[in-house]
Amino acid sequence: MSHQAVVSVILASLVVIAFGLFWWVGRYSDRIFAKRFRTRFPEKTLSYTAEQLGELVTSDLRMKYVFPILFPLDLIVMLALAGAMGAASSHWLAQTYPSAAWLGLLVPAVYLLSDLIEDCLLAWLLAHGDPNAAARSVSTLKAITTIKLASISAAIVVTVLSLLVWLLRSPPPVGTAA
């Protein structure tokens, strides 16, 4: 197996592990939230009201949401996802379209930054427990969540497409190394 193939298998494995971690943290947090809320709605959907967010920031779950769910678990997940997808897609793009390798880093970086901002704002709202501050922040939080959801979707697309392009690339001419 060539060096590039070994690196690609490792990078693809890291992406799979990151998504496994994402799934595990989601299941863990759902067990905590199932007692009171349907889901971690501020992070997963845009269809909630100021009243629902106010109820969350005054609930007995608020500090369990901040720690351990947002920090450190969600932080670890976002770092793993952005890092694995960024490294993998940038690597695969560099092998096929070197001038586009930056895209493999930029899109996951936008996701990482938006998710981190979302978590910090949400942690601040939860720590303060002020439903009025939560109500004033709903549109800002939803805007950040929209950027996060769009950028994670784009990062997944870039990662999958870069892998497919790398896999389907023309084989090197006979007698040359891959």
pLDDT in tens, 65-94: 999 999 999 999 999 999 999 999 999 999
pTM: 0.93
> Residue 118: its pLDDT value, please?
98
Which segments of the chain have a pLDDT < 70?
Answer: 170-178
Q: Is 14 within 8 Å of 84 (Cβ atoms)? A: yes
> Residue 173: its pLDDT value, please?
58
How far from the centroid of its chain's Cα atoms is residue 20's Cα?
A: 12
Residue 151 structure tokens = 């950028």
Helix axes 131-168, 75-96, angle to 10 degrees: 30
Q: The tokens 């990662």 sit on which residue?
A: 159
> Residue 170: its pLDDT value, please?
65
Residue ranges covered by each domain of the chain: 3-168
As a whole number of angstroms, the distance between CA 95 and CA 77 comes to 27
> Residue 34: its pLDDT value, please?
83
> Residue 176: its pLDDT value, please?
57
